[in-house]
Amino acid sequence: MKDVIIVRPDKCVGCNACIRCCPAPEANIVKMLDNGKIYTTVNADKCIACGECIDACTHGARDYVDDTAVFMSKISDGKYGIIVDPAIKTAFPNQWKGILEWFRKKSFLIFDGGFGADIYTWAMLGVIDSNNVSNVISESCSAVVNYISMYHPSLVQNLPPVCSPTLCSAVYIKNYLRRNEKLVVLSPCIARKYECVETGLVDYNVTFKKLMEYFAKNDIVIPRENYANFEYEYFERPGMIGALCSRPGGLCDNLLNFNLDINAIYSSGTQRVSREIAHYSKTDAKKLPKVFDVLSCDYGCGYGSGVDKSKTSCYDTISSFKAMEADIRSKAKNKGKLKFGDEKAFKKLDDELDLNDFVRTFTPRRATMNPTDADLEPIFEQMGKTTDAQRNINCGNCGFKTCRELATAIFRGINIIQSCVNYSQQTAVSAADNAKLEQETKKVEELSTKISEKAKAISESISKIDEAGAKTAEKKDTVNELLKNIIAFCNKNTTMDENSVKQMAAILETTAKSLESFDENISAANDSAKIVTDAVKEINELIANIGN
């Protein structure tokens, strides 16, 4: 499947916020460009399309693609059936009817996705009543289904074998209404594209955010109005209580309306859900709830990954859901309950529908094997982490919770050693030490050159020697001794480090000063020429030895 989450490498600064928030340990790939820039891209085969990284990225490096552009380019081809997710009422409380009217004017058929959610609730009750399943994790959220199939494949058996609310709508339209139009879902979910492609029941996933971006780009204005109610004239009957499935715990409430004995709990939010699913996989089945209702997005589909959160807030979403729920309650005969009187409207589905038409199976992905300690040993060695303490710094700067998780990602080829802050710091210190050593070495070379030049000047002034023969001889011995010390030092320190270079520089500095004094004591005394000549000869020999 094509990438859903996309990355703009030029905007990525390598902050690792995307890795830090991602529940999928293999969904991100860290790369280094030729110029040394580090950026993080997406592993499409391991991404669950929850959209968390897009919200976490403050640099505009991440975005997603849906079917809006493709669908709009073909919008004049003919009629389409539009399945509208109930969350449109919470995402656009003052525009949702205007958006649907825009599509209606193009002769499209408008279907309430809430009715598909009613069918989904009915199907779930049928699966539970059949006693063919023990504990189920709701599969109405595509991101959760992706996460389970990729990272907890053993739990695929806990996914109920029924279609999601959107797919239930599609099956009903195709099999029961006998409509053959191509189907488009207006959805709040990036990941819904996966179920559309995998089942082939829905042709296009158009998210709310990208739809509004299209309208803005093409100067299409949808008026804002204060709608008095949630009524709308759909092509087919509207949903009943199914619309509540879009909020956290909505499925639980719907199931409990018809069976108070069902042990059902719910959870929402990518981070929380991923933790709880991990615990779920390790818990005795006898302690698990009959139904675990999970949604990837914190505040449900109304505040989903395909909703422009800069245009609304979580409180707006909660308030809109409350208003929707109040509207549903007002239609119930038993006020204060979500039951529909004698439930005739809901039981009618038993007479109309065949549960077998809404069956869907799920295929687990083959899990990636975890590396052994022996596999990670050379990686830790390369990272400079040789002790247990170093291997458990767990600073989190790389985006992973532990050093072992980063080492595992490096082992799998989806991360690089430079992501480790400690390794990078050590490398930087080493580079700084090398720079200092290079400076000290250059100083030694300059002093050596200075000695050679001084010796040459002495040779050229031999003809001017006129006195201080004894002093010259004395200085000769001093310089001779210093240079011998240099040779001894070099022979002893065959491998030069920073300290060795500093010591060498100090000796050469002393030798240079002695030569300067030596030069000052030279006169043009002809009777001392032989002494000076011998001294210069010895100095040149010693310098030659230093060079060797």
**Highest averaged pLDDT of the listed ranges 10-14, 187-191, 228-232, 499-503:** 187-191
- 468 vs 274, residue with greater confidence: 274
Beta strand 182-187 with 204-207 is: parallel
How many whole angstroms separate alpha carbon 426 and alpha carbon 430?
A: 6
Q: Are 205 and 119 in contact (CB under 8 A)?
A: no
Q: What is the pLDDT of residue 369?
A: 85
pLDDT at 483 over 70: no
How many whole angstroms separate alpha carbon 322 and alpha carbon 318?
A: 6
The pLDDT of 427-455, averaged and rounded, is 60
How many whole angstroms separate alpha carbon 479 and alpha carbon 486?
A: 11
Q: What is the pLDDT of residue 339?
A: 47
The pLDDT of 221-231, averaged and rounded, is 90
CB-based burial of residue 97 (10 Å sphere; 0-12 exposed, 13-18 middle, 19+ buried)?
A: buried
How many whole angstroms separate alpha carbon 16 and alpha carbon 420?
A: 11
**CA 444 to each of CA 473, 476, 480, 497, 539: distance values in angstroms, whole numbers, following the listed order:** 27, 22, 18, 13, 17
Output the average pLDDT for the chain.
84
How many whole angstroms separate alpha carbon 535 and alpha carbon 530?
A: 9
The pLDDT of 143-148, averaged and rounded, is 96
Least confident of 115-119, 303-307, 362-366: 362-366
Least confident of 114-123, 168-177, 347-356: 347-356
- 344 vs 308, residue with greater confidence: 308
The CATH topology of domain 1-65 is: Alpha-Beta Plaits (3.30.70)
pLDDT at 7 over 80: yes
Confidence of residue 241 (pLDDT cuts 50, 70, 90): confident
Query: For residue 257, what are the contacts with CB-CB under 8 A and spacing of at least 6?
Result: 241, 337, 338, 339
The pLDDT of 280-308, averaged and rounded, is 94
pLDDT at 22 over 50: yes
Q: What is the pLDDT of residue 447?
A: 61
How many whole angstroms separate alpha carbon 440 and alpha carbon 445?
A: 9
For the stretch 470-479, pLDDT in tens is: 566 666 666 6
For the chain, give the percent of residues with pLDDT over 70.
75
The domain locations on the chain are 1-65, 68-358, 437-547
- The candidate with the shortest Cα–Cα distance to 114, out of 4, 258, 242, is 242
- The candidate with the shortest Cα–Cα distance to 415, out of 13, 143, 43, is 43
Confidence of residue 531 (pLDDT cuts 50, 70, 90): low
**CA 270 to each of CA 22, 295, 489: distance values in angstroms, whole numbers, following the listed order:** 8, 8, 65
Question: Would the pTM count as exceeding 0.95?
Answer: no
Q: What is the pLDDT of residue 535?
A: 62
Confidence of residue 337 (pLDDT cuts 50, 70, 90): very low
How many whole angstroms separate alpha carbon 254 and alpha carbon 116?
A: 13
How many whole angstroms separate alpha carbon 136 and alpha carbon 160?
A: 6
The pLDDT of 169-175, averaged and rounded, is 97
Q: What is the pLDDT of residue 342?
A: 40
Torsion of CA 65, 67, 73, 75, to 10 degrees: -150
Q: What is the pLDDT of residue 258?
A: 82
For the stretch 75-87, pLDDT in tens is: 887 789 999 999 9
How many whole angstroms separate alpha carbon 165 and alpha carbon 246?
A: 10
- 494 vs 198, residue with greater confidence: 198
Confidence of residue 142 (pLDDT cuts 50, 70, 90): very high
pLDDT at 537 over 60: yes
Helix 498-520 vs helix 421-460: crossing angle, to nearest 10: 20
- 35 vs 487, residue with greater confidence: 35
The residue to which tokens 């100090």 are assigned: 506
